[in-house]
A and B are shown apart, each in its own frame.
Chain A
Amino acid sequence: MPQLHPITAEECDEQARDTAEAVARRSYGKLVAFLAARTHDVAAAEDALSEAFTSALTDWPRNGCPANPEGWLLTVARRKLIDMVRAGNRQQLAADELQSVELAVAAPASGELPDERLAMMFACAHPAIDAGIRAPLILQVVLGLDAKAIAAAFLTSPGAMGKRLVRAKEKIRETRIPFRVPGSQELSPRLDAVLDAIYAAFAEGWSDPGGTDVARRDLTDETLFLARLVVELLPEQPEALGLCALLLHAEARRKARRNKEGEFVPLANQDPGLWNHQQIASAETLLHRASAMAAIGRFQLEAALQSAHVDRCRTGALNWAHVVDLYDALYELTSSPVVLINRALAVAELYGAEEALKAMPDLASDDRLAGYQPFWAARAELLTRTSTHEEARRAYRIAIGLERDPAVRRFLEHRLSELAD
């Protein structure tokens, strides 16, 4: 007998799951933000939403996917949230607050869910929240990543990461950190904290340049999504544009940073054919828009440096003087010894390795330098060029000892073995 509905139960299941996943990706953060902004209780909003998604996976295959899945999830999550308050297992909400919660989380009259993800990111990157947990917190509440995935990327135990996330959410709730994009006076320093957190999340993802570690690979995509989201919601903030451009530049060259054998390929030896030129073009557009706003900042300078490197590799036109200028400007803003290290490598191209060694930061100037791989790798490289092989060998060995990526370690070992006695 011919079936009227050619969809089997399994297919229906699959369709429901696909829809749930698509909504989760697009709307998870929006739904958490909407509920949490009104109750200040991020954990309760997450719990309610997670139950709503579970309900969806049983309901949708049976009754078909709703026309407005986002609204369906919000309705169910709201009911769960109010149940939780009523059950009294959320003691921070007194009984007389119940009604106000019910009113507060009522579906918006327009039917359109307001996008409060940015306000939630500002709550997560509030100065009252420990700086080290801001990036993980944003990844969790906006994107729904679990503590295990975040812990893997930040090289800590899932248990410890879970506890720190819980503590941060308690702080938001108990001290009533507002879900609000700060006014113009305060916006700049507070936005810096949000951008720093996104950058930190990206840097963790980036530390697996081979993209072999799935947890980290995903994190890079997700943080790019966050950076784009901030640009979309604050299109007039040059540093937000700068950060997005920087991340796009770094991402565009990911494939070229490894050869077929999985070995590390430094920028100078990369094949520009392997770069993602569409991403580079987007980065350039963002950077131009940012520079038109005439308010320079750290992320714009870093993106401009990436842009200069790309340009040199593509055209062969040496631009080291320009690169050194950019590093000078960046150092003025950040006073970071890391900037001095990269600047010294550019100085080497311009004035030779002797001058570059003089331009390197002094080991005694910052305790962290002794344990910082790029310092020793840069030093080893410069000492090799000045034929100070004994010291170069020592620096290579320290750099190798400090590196956690096996491919980069093999690259450094190879450089070390090339040194004549």
Chain B
Amino acid sequence: MQYILLLHGNEAGFAQMAPEQQQQGMAAYMAYSEALNKAGVMKGSNRLRPVATATTVRIVDGKTQVLDGPYADTKEQLGGYFLIDVPDLDAALSWAARCPGAGHGTVEVRPIWSM
């Protein structure tokens, strides 16, 4: 069963870190990705650019509205995801707990609706 781990965190925090801290942070994510690959559960992963780059689109009364900025302005932003394939929620939660994102933000675990 597939689950997505959505990484929410304060994206400003990363920019404020010293370069070596940033490097440490990146290394932690690299190691985590490698562990997911080794375990054969990794289905995909990406890091998102900051919300300042976000653009939202919706259709209102038949007209397309394009707006600058994210869907919701929040203290913590969606910064990336891991898509994993594991047997059950406990397995997904145990991977979520090991994700570096759980240390400096919140990891939301959502099952994928299989079609």
Question: B-contacting residues of A (Cβ < 8 Å)?
Answer: 94, 126-128, 174-178, 180, 182
Tell whether B105 is near chain A: CB-to-CB under 8 Å: no
Do B90 and A180 have beta carbons less than 8 Å apart? yes
Q: Mark B64-96, 1 if CB is under 8 A from A, else 0.
A: 000000000000000000000001111001000
Do B114 and A175 have beta carbons less than 8 Å apart? no
| Main DSSP-derived SS at the A contact region | loop
By a CB distance below 8 angstroms, the chain B residues around A180 are: 90
Do A175 and B111 have beta carbons less than 8 Å apart? yes
By a CB distance below 8 angstroms, the chain B residues around A128 are: 89, 93
How far does the alpha carbon of A175 sit from the alpha carbon of B1 in the complex, in Å? 9
- Most B CB within 10 A of own CB, among A94, A128, A175, A178: A175
When the two chains form the complex, which single residue of B90, B109, B111 contacts A178, counting CB atoms closer than 8 Å?
B90
By a CB distance below 8 angstroms, the chain A residues around B93 are: 127-128
By a CB distance below 8 angstroms, the chain A residues around B114 are: 94
Query: Within the complex, what minimum Cβ distance (angstroms) separates B45 from chain A?
Result: 20
By a CB distance below 8 angstroms, the chain A residues around B111 are: 174-176
By a CB distance below 8 angstroms, the chain A residues around B90 are: 177-178, 180, 182
- Most A CB within 10 A of own CB, among B87, B89, B93, B111: B89
By a CB distance below 8 angstroms, the chain B residues around A175 are: 89, 109, 111
| Main DSSP-derived SS at the B contact region | mixed
The 5 listed contacts between A and B (C-beta, < 8 Å) are A128-B93, A175-B89, A178-B89, A178-B90, A180-B90
Q: Interface size for chain B: under 10, 10 to 19, 20 to 34, or 35 or more residues?
A: under 10
How far does the alpha carbon of A128 sit from the alpha carbon of B87 in the complex, in Å? 16
**For chains A and B in complex, what number of residue pairs have CB atoms within 8 angstroms?**
23
How far does the alpha carbon of A186 sit from the alpha carbon of B90 in the complex, in Å? 11
How far does the alpha carbon of A178 sit from the alpha carbon of B86 in the complex, in Å? 12
By a CB distance below 8 angstroms, the chain B residues around A174 are: 111
How far does the alpha carbon of A326 sit from the alpha carbon of B112 in the complex, in Å? 49
By a CB distance below 8 angstroms, the chain A residues around B109 are: 175
How far does the alpha carbon of A178 sit from the alpha carbon of B1 in the complex, in Å? 12
By a CB distance below 8 angstroms, the chain B residues around A127 are: 93
Quick one: closest A residue to B3, CB to CB? A175
How far does the alpha carbon of A182 sit from the alpha carbon of B1 in the complex, in Å? 20
Ranked nearest first, the 10 interchain pairs of A and B with the lowest CB-CB distance are A178-B88, A176-B88, A175-B89, A175-B111, A177-B89, A176-B1, A178-B90, A176-B89, A174-B111, A128-B89
Query: Within the complex, what minimum Cβ distance (angstroms) separates B27 from chain A?
Result: 27
How far does the alpha carbon of A176 sit from the alpha carbon of B91 in the complex, in Å? 10
How far does the alpha carbon of A231 sit from the alpha carbon of B54 in the complex, in Å? 55
By a CB distance below 8 angstroms, the chain B residues around A94 are: 114
How far does the alpha carbon of A126 sit from the alpha carbon of B109 in the complex, in Å? 15
Query: Within the complex, what minimum Cβ distance (angstroms) separates A380 from chain B?
Result: 45
Quick one: closest A residue to B113, CB to CB? A174
- Most B CB within 10 A of own CB, among A127, A174, A176: A176
Q: Which of B1-30 contact A (CB under 8 A)?
A: 1
How far does the alpha carbon of A180 sit from the alpha carbon of B94 in the complex, in Å? 15
How far does the alpha carbon of A359 sit from the alpha carbon of B1 in the complex, in Å? 54
Quick one: closest A residue to B90, CB to CB? A178
By a CB distance below 8 angstroms, the chain A residues around B89 are: 126, 128, 175-178
Quick one: closest A residue to B110, CB to CB? A175
By a CB distance below 8 angstroms, the chain B residues around A182 are: 90
How far does the alpha carbon of A180 sit from the alpha carbon of B91 in the complex, in Å? 12
By a CB distance below 8 angstroms, the chain B residues around A178 are: 87-90
Quick one: closest B residue to A172, CB to CB? B89
How far does the alpha carbon of A128 sit from the alpha carbon of B110 in the complex, in Å? 11
Besides A177-B90, A178-B87, 10 other CB < 8 A contacts?
A: A127-B93, A128-B89, A128-B93, A174-B111, A175-B89, A175-B109, A176-B1, A176-B111, A178-B88, A178-B89
- Most A CB within 10 A of own CB, among B88, B90, B111: B90
Query: Within the complex, what minimum Cβ distance (angstroms) separates A176 from chain B?
Result: 5
Quick one: closest B residue to A97, CB to CB? B114
Query: Within the complex, what minimum Cβ distance (angstroms) separates B87 from chain A?
Result: 8
How far does the alpha carbon of A176 sit from the alpha carbon of B112 in the complex, in Å? 11
Query: Within the complex, what minimum Cβ distance (angstroms) separates B91 from chain A?
Result: 8
How far does the alpha carbon of A177 sit from the alpha carbon of B111 in the complex, in Å? 11
How far does the alpha carbon of A224 sit from the alpha carbon of B36 in the complex, in Å? 44
By a CB distance below 8 angstroms, the chain A residues around B88 are: 176-178
How far does the alpha carbon of A127 sit from the alpha carbon of B97 in the complex, in Å? 13
How far does the alpha carbon of A177 sit from the alpha carbon of B90 in the complex, in Å? 7
Quick one: closest B residue to A40, CB to CB? B88
Query: Within the complex, what minimum Cβ distance (angstroms) separates A31 from chain B?
Result: 22
How far does the alpha carbon of A180 sit from the alpha carbon of B90 in the complex, in Å? 10
By a CB distance below 8 angstroms, the chain B residues around A177 are: 88-90
By a CB distance below 8 angstroms, the chain A residues around B1 are: 176
How far does the alpha carbon of A182 sit from the alpha carbon of B93 in the complex, in Å? 14
How far does the alpha carbon of A126 sit from the alpha carbon of B1 in the complex, in Å? 18
